[in-house]
Structures are given as structure tokens and as C-alpha cells.
Structure 1
Amino acid sequence: MNDQYQALYQSFRWLVPTQFNIADVCCHRWAANSPDARRIAIYYEDEAGNREVWTYARLAEAVNQLANGLVRMGVGKGDRVGVVLGQRPETVVAHMAAYSVGAVILPLSSLFGPDALEARLRDAEARVAIVDAASSGNLLQVADQCPALHQIIGIGFADERVLPWRSLLARQPSEFKPVPTLATDPAILLYTSGTTGAPKGALLPHSVLIGNLPGFVASQDWFPKPGDVFWSPADWAWTGGMMDALLPTLYFGHPIVATRARFSPERAFELMERYQVTNTFLFPTALKAMMKTVPAPRERYKLALRAMMSAGESVGQAVFEWCQTALGITPNEMFGQTEMNYLVGNSQRRWPAKAGSMGRPYPGHQVAVIDDEGRPVAAGEIGEIALNRLDIHGYPDPILFLGYWNNPAATAAKFTGDWCRTGDLARIDADGYLWYAGRSDDVFKSAGYRIGPGEIESCLVSHPAVANAAVVPKPDAERGALVKAYVVRTAEYAERDPQALIQELQEYVRDRLAAYEYPKEIEFLDELPMTTSGKIQRRVLRLREEERAANAAQAAT
């Protein structure tokens, strides 16, 4: 194919206006124009199968009503508004209303328990929280422990401590003059997923949406095209759902499908068929489940899919090839994180995708693999992925977060000079493609060999017995650590003899990877510990192994 990468990357220039507001570009500008106002913004389907269609005009009217309500509650510029909702139209309304009044949105997953909600609401000093019936019990349980929380707005339930959503909006005018904001003003307070430690609040400016657009457009094979419809199961309370799906789709004035039902492979295909979804973002975990459950989807479903992005973990060779053969789609892998999303990835229509590679830096982002002193490492060597504050032309990169909320020490520790460190390791090849080597604290040494879990996990998942896998070090006095694999079996292999299957999997990996990489020990689990954003919590498994080793050592004395 014609590789257009260098021309695109070298010629790209940021155009960031001084004044910029996410609500204006994702909602109000479409509603202000009669033909655009009639465009569909949201297709919604709840757990029971009830469906709604929201146009941009309907969305803007509700946004203006909520914005008026927030102002009357005393919410002003910079105040935090917590949103504990799943994928539903009211979530979008809450976002756009908060941006419209100059407030900072605090997205919170509906899967959070009371402790997680309290920690974030207290730390952020949220003034208002919006919640539906699914999370109301958890929120109300901790509301009194959040002294800054003055008002709770409730959707779909009644409680004397809560102001009903419908009543609030019904009393408000449908016109509102948005508060002007600078592109550099804070817009989103997004807590990290806690993969490697206590969650930290990353404060993101309005300009972060502009920073995400080059990667979004490229990874979705030059979105938008006429008729494009987007869907992703990614939670809108996380970077993946918000920045890789929701906000960019609305920025371009196209429809997004929202659903509150629990993810399942069959339902994913049904939704994509029903709404003729053209573009999607699917975690590797979801793709693995879809591949195992529906190996030949085009024989059962009439799909309109034209582009797919995947991120969070490595897709791996087996899933990559299944997407190509079974879906007719080459997945564009992407890498980013809460503090700086959409940094590296593929765009198979514009430059070749290499199976298993994270791709190349997207236009607008100066990315390098650096050593401990902040110097770029040689091709083929492993280092830490980092983003420079400035692009290759010397202009500030709008994708970078403003800092950690009330945590200047953590913010400073994130940087080495102008390089913002990701904590993720990779090597870069001669063509400029990055190859993921794991989190800096996921990589370990065994008998002197440096082990990254990603390649071993991908190999295991390519076996028909494995639905998912996680590789961690098991402390060992002789080797320092043994390669230990936690495996979730597919239904077809659940009743097989465990010891025979362990031996089969060990030989399978040994035949395909280096001899030192095969798992010396395999343990079967019903499910792996995951973050609510769909990432494997290897830290939990690693701590389990360390605790077991400590207990064994104590018992031996």
C-alpha cells in the first residue's frame, strides 16, 4: 500500500483557538443550524430493550435546561459536578451542561462502590452529583461524608434528599447563554483507573478534545464519512469511552449508540447489526470474547462495520487475524492514557498496520521511547514511552493534562524535563513502530531474562482453550521469579483434565516463543481481576503471589 505516514506527520499543524468550549462544538453549534439540529445525536437502548432517538435539537434543549438549573444551584466556573451514570442520554446532557456553565465534569463509573465514590467526591470537592437508580444507594450512603456536596440530582428514583431530574428541567428555560471558556480552562477531572496504585485525578482542559482528534480520525479510517454511526461498550466515565468514542463522534455531528445492558458478544453483534454501526472501539478483552463465542459473525449478522480501534492491552496476533478474516476489518491499535490519550496508533488506510505493534505516533504528538535520564533509546531497545510538551514544530500539544488534582508532587514526578512519562515500556523499530513491552512494574526478570507479559498472554489466548490470560512473576529463590500464568478457560475446555491442559498450554507456548518465556506454572480462574475500564489488574495477581511466597517462607521457619 501507499505509506502516507511521513507526509501526514511532518505537515500537521495544531489550530487551537484561544476560546474553546467542548459543549459548543459537540452540541450547541449543531442545534443552532436547522438542518443539523434534526440530525440524530444518540440512539439509546436500555436493559429492557426500550429505545429512544435524540436529535441534536432535543439534546441542546435539555442541556440548556440543566445548565440553567446548575446556575440556580450556584454552580459556577471551575466547580466540580459529579456524574454517576452509565451510557444514557442524560449522561451527555450532564456533560454538555457542565461545560456550558464553565464547570468541571467529574465522571464516575456506575460500577463504583460507596468507598470509591466517596474517595473521589471528597477529593474533588464536588458541589453537585447526578445519579440514577443503579448507583443511588451507593451514593446516598456516603453523601454525608462529602462536605462540599450540596445537591444530588436523581434520575428514575425518589428520595427526600434528592432533586428529581425531570422536575428540575421542567422548571427551567430552554435557552441559555454559555459561559465563555479558554481552551486551556479545566473541563474534566478524570481519575486514573488505579492499575498501578491509588487513583489520581487528572485535570484535563477543553483543548484536550482537539488533541484527541487526529488519532481518532486516523484510527477510525478517516472518520467521519457519510452515514457513519459509532458504538462502543466502553464506559463513558473513562478516557476510552469519553475521548475515544462519545465526544469525538458528537464533535463531528454524527450519531452514537448508547446502551446500558451488560456486555455480551452476541449483544455486541446484535447492536452493530440493528444500528448499522460503521465504527467502533472494542477492548482486546471484548474482542477475545467475541472471537471465542462467535467465530464466524458474518454468517449470522449483516454488519456495516468499516473501521475498528482497539486499546487497553495488546490485541495479539490471533485476534488481529480473526478481525481481518472474520470481520473483514484490520483493527487499528492505539495507545494512550488518562493524562494524554491517543498518542500512538495505526491507520491501516494511510499507513501499514503491523500485527502486534502499537503503531506510530499520531500527527501532532512528539513521542519517544526514553531511558531513566530522559534520553531516547536506540531502535530495538526497551525504554519508557513519553510525550513531549511540544510538537515537532515547537508548539504546545493540546492533548496533555494540566496536572494532578491537588497533587503537585505527583505531577512533577510524571515529567523528566519536557517529557511526560507514561509508565509504559516499549521498543521502537527501524520504521518508527512501537512494540509494547508492558507496564514498567509489570515487566520482571526470570533467571536473568527480561519478561514482558503481553507476548505470552497473546500466545496463550491464541489457543482455543483460553478465553483470557494474565502473566505475573512468582517469587523464586533460585531464578528470582518464575513465569506464572493465570488462565480463564473457554466453556468447551472447562471440564478437561486440568493437569493435561496445563501441560498442553505450556508446550504450546514453548513451541512458539522463547524457551524461557513459557509459564512454569498455570492456575485456572473463573475470571481475571479487571479495572472498570477493562484492563487486567496484574498488580492484584502479583501481590497474591508475593503474599503466598511470604506465607510459605514463614511456614518453613
Structure 2
Amino acid sequence: MNGRGGEIRWSFEELGFQSRKVANILTGRCGLCKGDRILLILPRIPEWWLVATACIRTGIVIIPTTSQLTAKDIEYRLQASGAKCLITTDALAPAVDSIAPNCNSLRTKLLVSSEGKREGWLNFGELLREAPANHTCVKTKMHDPMMIYFTSGTTGAPKMVEHTQGSLGFRPIIGKRYWLDATPSDIVWNTADTGWVMAVLGSFFDPWVFGSCVFIHRLSQLDTTTILSTLSQFPVTIFVSAPTLFRLLVKEDLTSYKFMSLQYCMSGGELLNSEVMEQWKNKTGLNIYEIYGQTEAGIICAVSKKMKIKPGSMGKAAIPYDVQIVDQDVNILSPGKEGEIAIRVKPERPLGLFTQYIDAPQKMAMTERGDFFLTGDRGVMDEDGYFWFIGRADDIINSSGYRIGPFEVESVLLKHPAVTEVAAVSSPDPIRGEVVKVFVVLSMGYSTQDKEKLTLELQEHVKKMTAPYKYPRKVEFVQQLPKTNTGKIRRNELRDQEWG
């Protein structure tokens, strides 16, 4: 779906035919070969799937990135990766041209265009029409690189996360129904941005391992009416999206929409509060199943269809990972004790985990200690093996010796009718060292005319709903929260703002 009523439908046979043509474009007209890197900056359009498939056929390494990049972002990624080719649309072509002279490795610019030719660019559509459809796959090994993702931390420039042919392509085969649990009769719609690893997991490898149909909607912006109408009009059976979207959807009048085919809803990217899960269930009759993962590891934990849902839990460890909660000395902690979420990497590194942070050995060394890869997230495991997320290690608020996870404060505030979105971070305090501060986006119908009264009301709400020491001593009302392209709230930006 292109958002304007146009549709393209491909069978697996047609996709294979078209991807072989693209493979010939990349190796012929673009002069690329196995191991070369492509910066792929395309929105949710069919060409993204064609190029990704063609790269796997040829052994060319894909660097998927979001279409929201600035010229500076693109320049950094080209220079750091040494990519020889860049593929994008008319929207970003001017930005690319402005920085291309500074990127010595860049040889070819390929344009997916609806407007025609552009000087200095090869036209993807023209080449596709002319390209031959016969192509023999290049032989690759399990540990050959396949994709590189740029992932941002709280400090420093984005790091390059390398995945292999095995870590993304073969894990769904050995894991089978380890999270998606789809069938050949399913139609899977995953709204993840193409620059996020979830797009490859939920809209590429994992559905196709099961022979499922992938549904794509361009979705230039997350419009709730468009999404609800699409779920009503098309036979989508599995819907995967970010918590931000579900929070918006439950605020709509869902009685005018009938999801005739929808059976299974999944949420990932950050935790979804139980209030939204309950509202969605009451209004649609459908559960929301949590998944938890990272760019480095894909899906780490999940609540599968056959598992009991424990609201607030992100489920059990996903195959083939051995996930544990460990302390600072990487000793495994018993159920109920808080620590860092870690994946066992010794004696054998599990398939699915990334191979390295390219050109960043110090970063790599920081994340591996003892027998484990440390995720940087803190959590708890219960007696049944379910994991519960507390927060990023650097998001935890330590106020007067009390450790407070931002999610628990946010979850309580989201139950108040005045709050539509909220982010909790640490803020400096001369007495307590740091205190909880929340940034609140108000619901329709609420205003900040009497800030003091509303602030006090929200503070009292938290005190009544959870331990009083967790209440926010500072409240700031904002129009919107900073977010990543995947919908995650950038708490680090807000925290940096507080601490200067």
C-alpha cells in the first residue's frame, strides 16, 4: 500500500524474478561485488525488499538506515562504513549531493524516483526494466557479514553493529516459532521503520521462513485513522508495532472499526504499560504480546501465543539464547533479584548475536564480561522464568539511596486521564543527589493554565499508586517528547538537558 490507494502484490516467484534483476544491476551497472557495502535509505516501499533480497543473493553487505537522516548523518555513515553505493529517493537526493564530495568511497548513487532523472544518479526504475533476470547466487558462509546497523548509545558517535548471514538469516530456521509463530496462511504487518532491525525480523526473514505473506504500508507518518482503517480493510492476521502506536490507538473510538482477520498483536521497542494492554483487550478482544530485543541480538525475550501473559513482563528467553540476570561481577542472580540482563556467549556464541562493533574494540570489550554479553538493561526474572524490565542501566534514578526505574513511574502516570505521554529521568538535587523529574504531554482537554494544581494532582496520584519515594518532585509539561525513529523515547536527551 502506498497510502494513496495504489497496491502492488507479488508472489514469491515474482519477488525472486525482480530481485534477480536487481542483483544484476548491483553487480553489473554498479560494479559491486561480495563484501562491498551499500547504504540503503528507503522508506517502507517494495524496492527496499527487492534490494535487500538482491544483496543477500550477491553477498553485498546492506546498511539499512532510516529516511529521517540529515545530511550530516548520511555523511558520517558513508565515511565510517566506506560504503561504495547509496540508494535513496528524491526526498534525500539533495542532502546526499551536498555531502557526496566528502565521501571518497562513494562511487554510485542509485535513485528510486517518481520524478525522473537526476544528474549524477542512476535511475533504479529504468535499470530494473532493462536488467536481465538470470542470476546465480554468490556462495556465502554462515559467518560472512550480511548487514550493518548504526546504533546510538548515550555517549559517542553511533556504532556499527555487524550481523552475519547466520545471525539474521538462519536463526528463524533453528528457532522456528520462537516469537512470531506464523503460518503460510498468515499476513504479517509490521510497522517498524526500515532502518530498524525489527523491520528485517518482522517483515523479512521471520515471516518468510514460515511462508507467510508480508504486508507493507508506506506510512509516511503514524496516523491512527490510516492504521485502523487498514486493519479493517485488509486481511492482516498478525500486527506488530511499537508501544507508542498502541497508546495512541486505544484513545480512538474503536467501535467503528471491525478487525475481521486480526488474531495476534505484538508490541516491541520498549515496554507497554498494562493499562494500555487492558484497554486494547477490552475494546478489540485481542491480547498484546510483548517482545524484547536489541539491534545486537534481535529478539531476546518474548511472550509467545501459547504462553500465559503476565502484564508488564516481556516474557521468557527466546531460542537459542540463555538469558540470565547477573550482578556487577557477572554472577547469576536468583529469581526476584535485580541485575543486568545478560546473554551467555561461552563456551559457544549463540546464533543470532552480532559478531562485533566494527572499528570499536573498546566498546566490544565493555559489553562482554566473563561468559556473558551485557545488554545494558536492568531487570528481574521471576520463579517462572519470566523477565521484567526495569530500565537502561544509565536510566535508573538513584534518589537518596532508592533505586527507581523510569518505567514504573511512567506506567503509573499514564493511568491518569490528563497524561497521554510521559518520560521520567533523573534531575540534580542539592540534598538527594538526584530526584525523579517527569516530562508530560497532556491529553486533549487538559491545559497548563494552573500548572501548580495539576502538578500536585499528578504527584499525589503517583504517591497513591506506588511507593511514595518514587513520586516526581519535578514536573514539566511539554508539547512532545524526543523519540527515535522506532518510537522509543530518548530519555538520554532529556537527562542530558537536566544535567547540562
Is residue 254 of structure 1 aligned with residue 207 of structure 2? no
Q: 2:269, 2:488 within 8 Å by CA — same for their partners in 1?
A: yes
Q: Alignment partner for residue 179 of structure 2, among 219, 223, 232? A: 219
Is residue 154 of structure 1 aligned with residue 114 of structure 2? no
Q: Secondary structure at the match of 2:445?
A: helix
1:285 is aligned to: 244
Is residue 177 of structure 1 aligned with residue 136 of structure 2? yes
Q: Structure 2 vs 1, CA of residues 217 and 139 (structure 1 numbering), >3 Å: closer, same or farther?
A: farther
Write out per-residue CA displacement over residues 297-352 of structure 1, whole angstroms, 9 at most, x where no aligned residue. 254333421112211211111012122222222221111101101111212x3221
Aligned residues: 495
Q: 1:282, 1:309 within 8 Å by CA — same for their partners in 2?
A: yes
- Quote the Cα distance in structure 2 between the aligned partners of 1:493 and 1:292: 15
- Quote the Cα distance in structure 2 between the aligned partners of 1:46 and 1:248: 23
- Quote the Cα distance in structure 2 between the aligned partners of 1:196 and 1:251: 37
Q: Alignment partner for residue 337 of structure 2, among 374, 381, 399? A: 381
1:500 is aligned to: 453
Q: Alignment partner for residue 365 of structure 1, among 309, 321, 340? A: 321
Q: Secondary structure at the match of 2:98?
A: helix
Is residue 271 of structure 1 aligned with residue 230 of structure 2? yes
Q: Structure 2 vs 1, CA of residues 311 and 216 (structure 1 numbering), >3 Å: closer, same or farther?
A: farther
Q: 1:219, 1:309 within 8 Å by CA — same for their partners in 2?
A: no
Q: Secondary structure at the match of 2:10?
A: strand
What are the equivalent positions in structure 2 for 1:80-229 lying under 5 Å apart? 80-156=37-113, 157=115, 158-194=117-153, 197-209=156-168, 210-212=170-172, 217-220=177-180, 222-224=181-183, 226-229=184-187
Q: Secondary structure at the match of 2:92?
A: helix
1:511 is aligned to: 464
* Identity in percent: 32
Q: Alignment partner for residue 306 of structure 1, among 263, 266, 274? A: 263
1:422 is aligned to: 375
Paired letter, 1:484:
K
Is residue 333 of structure 1 aligned with residue 286 of structure 2? no
Write out per-residue CA displacement over residues 145-178 of structure 1, whole angstroms, 9 at most, x where no aligned residue. 1111100110114211100002222232111001
Q: 1:219, 1:332 within 8 Å by CA — same for their partners in 2?
A: no
Q: 2:422, 2:438 within 8 Å by CA — same for their partners in 1?
A: yes
Q: 2:70, 2:95 within 8 Å by CA — same for their partners in 1?
A: yes
1:397 is aligned to: 350
Cα deviation, residue 216, structure 1: 8.0
- Quote the Cα distance in structure 1 between the aligned partners of 2:269 and 2:358: 24
2:388 is aligned to: 435
Q: Structure 2 vs 1, CA of residues 298 and 218 (structure 1 numbering), >3 Å: closer, same or farther?
A: farther
- Quote the Cα distance in structure 1 between the aligned partners of 2:153 and 2:245: 20
- Quote the Cα distance in structure 2 between the aligned partners of 1:482 and 1:377: 28
Q: 2:179, 2:318 within 8 Å by CA — same for their partners in 1?
A: no
Is residue 61 of structure 1 aligned with residue 17 of structure 2? yes
Paired letter, 1:48:
R
Q: Structure 2 vs 1, CA of residues 200 and 475 (structure 1 numbering), >3 Å: closer, same or farther?
A: same
- Quote the Cα distance in structure 1 between the aligned partners of 2:448 and 2:382: 43
- Quote the Cα distance in structure 2 between the aligned partners of 1:283 and 1:364: 24
Q: Secondary structure at the match of 1:219?
A: coil
- Quote the Cα distance in structure 2 between the aligned partners of 1:542 and 1:306: 39
Q: Secondary structure at the match of 1:372?
A: coil
Write out per-residue CA displacement over residues 128-158 of structure 1, whole angstroms, 9 at most, x where no aligned residue. 1111112222222222211111001101142
Q: Secondary structure at the match of 2:313?
A: coil
Q: Secondary structure at the match of 2:250?
A: helix
Q: Secondary structure at the match of 1:293?
A: coil
1:472 is aligned to: 425
Q: 1:133, 1:154 within 8 Å by CA — same for their partners in 2?
A: yes
2:437 is aligned to: 484
Write out per-residue CA displacement over residues 194-218 of structure 1, whole angstroms, 9 at most, x where no aligned residue. 4565311100011123325677834
Cα deviation, residue 543, structure 1: 0.9
1:318 is aligned to: 275
What RMSD over aligned residues (CA atoms) do the two structures have, in Å? Answer: 1.8
- Quote the Cα distance in structure 2 between the aligned partners of 1:442 and 1:215: 32
1:555 is aligned to: none
Q: Secondary structure at the match of 1:486?
A: strand
Write out per-residue CA displacement over residues 183-203 of structure 1, whole angstroms, 9 at most, x where no aligned residue. 221100011144565311100
Q: Please identify which structure carries the higher helix content.
A: 1
- Quote the Cα distance in structure 1 between the aligned partners of 2:176 and 2:232: 23
What are the equivalent positions in structure 2 for 1:231-250 lying under 5 Å apart? 231-250=189-208
Is residue 350 of structure 1 aligned with residue 350 of structure 2? no
Paired letter, 1:440:
A
TM-score by length of structure 2 reads 0.95
Q: 2:326, 2:333 within 8 Å by CA — same for their partners in 1?
A: yes
Please, which runs of 5 or more residues in structure 2 have no aligned partner? none
Cα deviation, residue 219, structure 1: 3.3
Q: 2:62, 2:146 within 8 Å by CA — same for their partners in 1?
A: yes
- Quote the Cα distance in structure 2 between the aligned partners of 1:175 and 1:298: 51
Q: 1:203, 1:404 within 8 Å by CA — same for their partners in 2?
A: yes
TM-score by length of structure 1 reads 0.85
- Quote the Cα distance in structure 1 between the aligned partners of 2:16 and 2:10: 10
Q: Alignment partner for residue 542 of structure 1, among 473, 495, 498? A: 495
Cα deviation, residue 483, structure 1: 0.9
- Quote the Cα distance in structure 2 between the aligned partners of 1:326 and 1:234: 24
- Quote the Cα distance in structure 2 between the aligned partners of 1:282 and 1:477: 41
Please, which runs of 5 or more residues in structure 1 have no aligned partner? 1-44, 548-557
Paired letter, 1:367:
V
- Quote the Cα distance in structure 2 between the aligned partners of 1:77 and 1:483: 51
Cα deviation, residue 519, structure 1: 0.9
Is residue 70 of structure 1 aligned with residue 30 of structure 2? no
- Quote the Cα distance in structure 2 between the aligned partners of 1:215 and 1:317: 28
Q: Greater relative contact order (Cα 8 A, min sep 6): structure 1 or 2?
A: 1
Q: Alignment partner for residue 454 of structure 1, among 407, 431, 456? A: 407
Write out per-residue CA displacement over residues 378-425 of structure 1, whole angstroms, 9 at most, x where no aligned residue. 2222111111125xxx65411110101122221222101231110000
